[in-house]
Structure 1
C-alpha cells in the first residue's frame, strides 16, 4: 500500500508488518506516538534534568514504529550528551511530519472506503 512520504524517515511497511496489516492498530500506535511526542518535546531541551530518560524512551518507541533515524539520533545523544539534543529534536520533527502525512492518508482512504459490516 503506497503512502505519502514526506521525508522517508519512518518505515511504515515495517510498522504495518508488525501490526499484521491491521491499519486500525497502526493508526492507534501512531496516535500514541504523537501524544507522547508532545510530552517529550519539552524534556529534550538543553538544561532539562529529565532529558536522558526522555531520549531513552523516544529511542525505544522510534524503533517500534520504524523511525530508525530518530532512534539513532537518540542513541548518539545518550552516548555523547545533551549537545546532541538538537539532532534528536530535528529527527523527532521529521518523524512527526511523516506520521502526520501517513495518518492523513489513512483518514482520506477511510472516507473513500465503504464501512465494514460489523
Structure 2
C-alpha cells in the first residue's frame, strides 16, 4: 500500500493537526485506531448487546483521525432502534473497512518516512 492507494475516506489533515505533524504520534494514534477497530468491529451486530457501545466508541475514534464518513455512519447507527440498525451497521462495517485500508496505506508511508530519516 502507498499514498496513491488512499480512497479519501480519512482526512489525514485532521490527524496531523491533532498530532502537530509528529509522525511518531500519528503512528501511535493510527495504531490505537486499528486496535480499537479490531476490538469493536465484531460487535457490529444487533445480536450483540454492546452494538450501540461499539458504534459510539468507533464514532469518536473515527472523528479523531478524520474518518468523517465512518463517524457519520456510526452516528446514524447509534441513533437507530434495534429493528432499523442492521443495514446501518452494515454501512458502518463497510466504512470501517475502507477507513482501515486508508490507515494502512498512511501508516506504510509513515514507516517509509522513518526509514528515510
TM-score of the pair, normalised by structure 2: 0.89
Moved over 3 A (4+): none
CA distance in structure 2 between the partners assigned to 1:4 and 1:50 by the alignment: 36
Task: Tell me the equivalent position of 1:17.
Answer: 17
Contact 1:4 1:102 (8 Å CA) reproduced: no
RMSD: 1.2
For these two proteins, the number of residue pairs brought into alignment is 111
Do 1:14 and 1:66's aligned partners in 2 also have CA atoms closer than 8 Å?
yes
Distance in 2 (alpha carbons) for counterparts of 1:7 and 1:48: 30
Long gaps (5+) in structure 2: none
Which has the higher Rg, Structure 1 or Structure 2?
1
Answer 1 or 2: which has greater helix percent. Answer: 2
For the pair 1:60 / 2:64, whether they are aligned, the reply is no
Q: Does 1:86 align with 2:90?
A: yes
Question: For the residues of structure 1 that align with 2:100 and 2:106, how far apart are their CA atoms?
Answer: 10
